[in-house]
């Protein structure tokens, strides 16, 4: 796909210093759109959530969604920004088929939030990412290119447009250039977006689903020769739609730009597209300058002047930041940093917290959510939180295991049954008769049968070779269809053969 020459990463790092920057678009989870009352439900019938305002019909007038302003202030405060006492929306003029007004209402030189920061842990150190601005705008509609192989406009027979997304409030979060991450630049980019996603999730302002496009990233990358005071020319890789892709896009751009510079060439300032299948980028259009958009203050809207006491109310209601919460839970749960990262990455932190709150030990809660349940979610291609089992049910199952009423194998069957809608763990255990066989006489009988059927092994155990007992335990577990406590069975066999 790419014909670009690439420089090996480690060699590129010897000669060049990368600077990255990220622009993230977040669709706010408000019930209605930015400037009209249309609902914003994802996945509705195309063009069923539209009205004259978001279709840009003549004579229609926008009205600002107060909740979108509140959400944006919440984001700005959580990212340590200054909140403007007075700001305006601006018209950004350009033509695009999925934007029926031929302009986008955005913010230009008067954004709502400016000059903040977000701390990101990168390989054991903290990188303070400067935040240039957080502003509010409206999303565009969505084009669907039909008949081609790739779903892109190139090669398509015709295109359809869906305006359901047009006018959904969109927050743009722009970082300042991030120097000094060195060879960690690709990882730092991914971890910034991860931290931002967790923060936004904790603020309850967006469902932040990259796969549904409610969190989208543009990644800027430039290289400068090591020791040079000036920064290099940057490229902007558009719409990078997964955390892994953020990292790959930066990595690829570093290798590509290093090869261009090595050959004595110049990096072109341009927009590039990331290709998920190959992990490469290709040139898009050369980047517009701000003046190309003919920005001017939006004449149909009054300025936004959030009262100071309102801003302070929002600040006072901010939740504990995810980084502080992680540190607190890690200490409470006595888990390693790697364990906590695994929980965060799996989206299991809240689930484990709720399972612990419902009575499970942190180790058990972690074991079930990251083990069996993560496996099942993966198999289904769904998220952990979308599985049909509640933290309280998981806590009850681990309680039954801890009490010896279930072993792990039976517990997995209970999980399957709960997911299949057969009810709470206790109901499943009762209905399916899934309890550990603890009836001493039944177990003793199975033990005696196993010993009788395997005289050679029994003889070896009698001689003191305790490690040989495995097949006997296996035979009893088989005879009880897995419904015995293996440790208890082992104990019974050894007592019998002593
Ligand atoms: Zn509308």
Q: Residue 371 C-alpha to ligand 1 middle, in angstroms? A: 44
Q: Residue 86 C-alpha to ligand 1 middle, in angstroms? A: 26
Q: Residue 288 C-alpha to ligand 1 middle, in angstroms? A: 29
Q: 270 and 286 in contact (C-beta within 8 Å)?
A: yes
Q: Residue 37 C-alpha to ligand 1 middle, in angstroms? A: 6
Q: Residue 50 C-alpha to ligand 1 middle, in angstroms? A: 4
Q: Residue 30 C-alpha to ligand 1 middle, in angstroms? A: 13
Q: Residue 142 C-alpha to ligand 1 middle, in angstroms? A: 15
Q: Residue 45 C-alpha to ligand 1 middle, in angstroms? A: 15
Q: Residue 243 C-alpha to ligand 1 middle, in angstroms? A: 31
> In the structure encoding, which two tokens stand for residue 379, read together?
């198999």
pLDDT at position 438 is 65
Low-confidence ranges of the chain (pLDDT < 70): 1-2, 287-288, 290, 438
Q: Residue 54 C-alpha to ligand 1 middle, in angstroms? A: 4
Q: Residue 483 C-alpha to ligand 1 middle, in angstroms? A: 59
- State how far the alpha carbon of 254 is from the alpha carbons of 222, 231, 251, 311, 331, in Å: 7, 14, 5, 41, 38
pLDDT at position 355 is 96
Q: Residue 39 C-alpha to ligand 1 middle, in angstroms? A: 8
Q: Residue 177 C-alpha to ligand 1 middle, in angstroms? A: 36
Q: What tens digit of pLDDT does each residue of 366-418 get?
A: 999 999 999 999 898 888 888 999 999 999 999 999 888 888 888 999 999 99
pLDDT at position 486 is 82
Q: What tens digit of pLDDT does each residue of 65-88 get?
A: 999 999 999 999 999 999 999 999
Global pTM? Answer: 0.79
Q: Residue 48 C-alpha to ligand 1 middle, in angstroms? A: 10
pLDDT at position 488 is 81
Q: Residue 73 C-alpha to ligand 1 middle, in angstroms? A: 23
Q: Residue 107 C-alpha to ligand 1 middle, in angstroms? A: 20
pLDDT at position 287 is 62
What is the average pLDDT score of the chain?
A: 92
Q: Residue 163 C-alpha to ligand 1 middle, in angstroms? A: 9
Q: Residue 137 C-alpha to ligand 1 middle, in angstroms? A: 15
Q: Residue 162 C-alpha to ligand 1 middle, in angstroms? A: 13
Q: Residue 425 C-alpha to ligand 1 middle, in angstroms? A: 46
Q: Residue 100 C-alpha to ligand 1 middle, in angstroms? A: 12
């Amino acid at each position: 796909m790419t014909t670009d020459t690439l420089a090996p990463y480690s060699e590129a790092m010897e000669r060049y210093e990368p600077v990255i920057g990220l622009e993230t678009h977040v669709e706010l989870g408000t019930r209605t759109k930015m400037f009209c009352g249309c609902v914003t439900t994802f996945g509705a019938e195309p063009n069923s959530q539209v009205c004259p305002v978001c279709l840009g019909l003549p004579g229609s007038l926008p009205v600002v969604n107060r909740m979108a302003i509140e959400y944006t202030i919440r984001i700005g405060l959580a990212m340590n920004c200054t909140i403007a006492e007075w700001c305006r929306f601006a018209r950004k003029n350009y033509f695009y088929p999925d934007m029926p007004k031929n302009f986008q209402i955005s913010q230009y030189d008067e954004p709502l939030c400016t000059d903040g920061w977000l701390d990101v842990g990168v390989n054991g150190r903290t990188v303070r990412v400067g935040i240039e601005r957080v502003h509010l705008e409206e999303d565009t509609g969505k084009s669907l290119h039909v008949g081609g192989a790739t779903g892109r406009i190139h090669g398509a027979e015709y295109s359809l447009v869906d305006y359901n997304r047009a006018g959904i409030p969109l927050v743009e979060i722009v970082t300042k250039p991030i120097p000094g991450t060195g060879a960690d630049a690709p990882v730092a980019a991914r971890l910034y977006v991860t931290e931002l996603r967790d923060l936004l999730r904790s603020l309850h302002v967006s469902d932040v689903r990259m796969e549904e496009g409610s969190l989208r990233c543009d990644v800027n990358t430039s290289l400068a020769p090591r020791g040079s005071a000036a920064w290099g020319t940057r490229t902007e890789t558009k719409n990078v739609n997964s955390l892994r892709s953020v990292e790959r896009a930066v990595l690829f751009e570093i290798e590509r730009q290093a090869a261009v510079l090595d050959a004595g060439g110049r990096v072109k300032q341009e927009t590039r597209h990331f290709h998920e299948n190959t992990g490469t980028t290709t040139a898009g259009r050369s980047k517009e300058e701000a003046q190309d958009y003919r920005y001017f203050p939006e004449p149909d809207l009054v300025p936004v002047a959030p009262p100071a006491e309102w801003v302070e109310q929002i600040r006072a209601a901010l939740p504990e930041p995810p980084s502080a919460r992680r540190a607190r839970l890690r200490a409470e749960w006595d888990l390693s940093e790697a364990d906590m990262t695994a929980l965060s990455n799996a989206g299991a932190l809240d689930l484990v917290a709720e399972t612990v709150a419902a009575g499970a030990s942190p180790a058990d809660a972690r074991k079930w959510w990251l083990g069996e349940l993560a496996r099942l979610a993966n198999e289904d291609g769904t998220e952990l939180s979308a599985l049909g089992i509640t933290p309280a049910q998981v806590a009850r199952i681990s309680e039954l295991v801890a009490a010896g009423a279930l072993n792990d194998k039976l517990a997995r069957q209970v999980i399957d049954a709960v997911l299949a809608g057969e009810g709470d763990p206790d109901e499943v255990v009762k209905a399916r008769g899934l309890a550990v066989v603890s009836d001493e006489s039944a177990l003793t009988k199975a033990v005696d049968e196993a010993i009788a059927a395997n005289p050679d092994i029994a003889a070896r155990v009698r001689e003191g070779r305790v490690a040989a007992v495995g097949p006997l335990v296996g035979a009893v577990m088989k005879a009880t269809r897995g419904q015995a406590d293996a440790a208890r069975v082992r104990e019974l066999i050894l007592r019998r053969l002593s």
